[in-house]
Amino acid sequence: MHLHEPGSGTASKILELVADPGQLPLETPLPLAVIHHDGTMLLPQGGVLNSEQRDFLFAHFQPYRNTVEEASLASTQDSLADRGDRGKGPLTLDDMNLAIGALLGIRSQAGSGREMLPCRLIGFRPGGAMFVTPPAAAKPAWEPFQGEQVEIVAIATQAVFWLVCTVEAVCTHPFRYLVLSEPGTIRRLRERRAVRVRTQLAVRYGVDLTGSELDRLGIGCDISVLGMSLAAGRKIGEVGERICVVFPIEAGNVGATFQAVAVIRNLRADTPQPGLTLHGLEFDTLSHESQVALKTFVFDRQDAVSYWAGMPT
């Protein structure tokens, strides 16, 4: 069985179901990346599995192999690092690094007490104008009009931004969309302390804090920039003890391997699958590159504009 998943480069991912555990070699670098059925990266090309990890993988995931060769880890990590802050000074659309399809929240500036309504970015025009879909609502109580000032909350890959635009046009052909002027004001919103998103990640872990000997595999059930929940086949350790976790992440169509030392903060019984123990982990201090990669990963999966709409600017 094969799945085709569009990629951001010149080639698409071709995912081939791994039906036989024997197709994944033990104690030797994997020739191809391993992907979950929903497209989540489980193991990068070159990752190494032991027997227990492979058994856990097939018991709790549905692995596919990515038959398109992955870019080198070094280049992807450099790319993620380059997506950090560009320094001080007035923010521009280029600084926001918005992608087509990015989630936006929109409301009239005259009605700042109203909730943000979701819409999507569908294009740019030379000079900074943006094309967006109309605000989505079951019973729209507000219809933007030409010349109206609107507030936008934009969820980009690196951060969340607030901006003010003017509605230059309300178009109906060939479909309904709005043309917004170049933003007159752009502000980076303060990030909430811990935006948490649901995940199903294949996480290698162990007590060796250097990460050189990680002989267990667990499920990363959710994650934030501060920590994660890790479901394992056994109790990993006591509250206050440290472990090392490693897992691949894809952020903004860029792949990287995330590694961190984490402190066990709690043990919980609400496991995603029977027979597993859920551990609440808090990450130790992260490098700048790891912070950028993790923030991008979380923001790419944060899909609630209303979550950010009430944040101070």
Instruction: State pLDDT tens for residues 257-304.
Output: 889 999 999 887 666 677 888 999 999 988 877 887 787 777 666 644
Cβ–Cβ under 8 Å, residues 219 and 202: yes
Q: How confident is the model at residue 69 (pLDDT cuts 50, 70, 90)?
A: very low
For residue 135, which of 100, 106, 103 has the smallest C-alpha distance? 106
Cβ–Cβ under 8 Å, residues 71 and 44: no
Instruction: State pLDDT tens for residues 74-116.
Output: 333 333 334 333 444 577 878 787 888 877 888 888 755 566 7
Residues of the chain with pLDDT > 70, as a percent, come to 72
SS3 at position 87: coil
The highest-level CATH class for domain 197-301 is mainly beta
The highest-level CATH class for domain 93-190 is mainly beta
CA distance 71 to 66: 12
71-75, 103-107, 212-216, range with greatest mean pLDDT: 212-216
Residues contacting residue 77 through CB under 8 Å, at least 6 positions apart: 256, 289, 293
168 backbone dihedrals φ, ψ, rounded to 5°: -80, -30
Indicate the length of the chain as a whole number.
313
Cβ–Cβ under 8 Å, residues 161 and 91: yes
CA distance 255 to 115: 35
Q: Is the pLDDT of residue 180 over 90?
A: yes
What pTM does this model have? 0.53
Q: Let me know if 147 is exposed, middle or buried by CB neighbors in 10 A (0-12, 13-18, 19+).
A: exposed
Q: Let me know if 74 is exposed, middle or buried by CB neighbors in 10 A (0-12, 13-18, 19+).
A: exposed
**Is 197-301 in the same CATH topology as 93-190?**
no
The domains of the chain are located at: 2-70, 93-190, 197-301
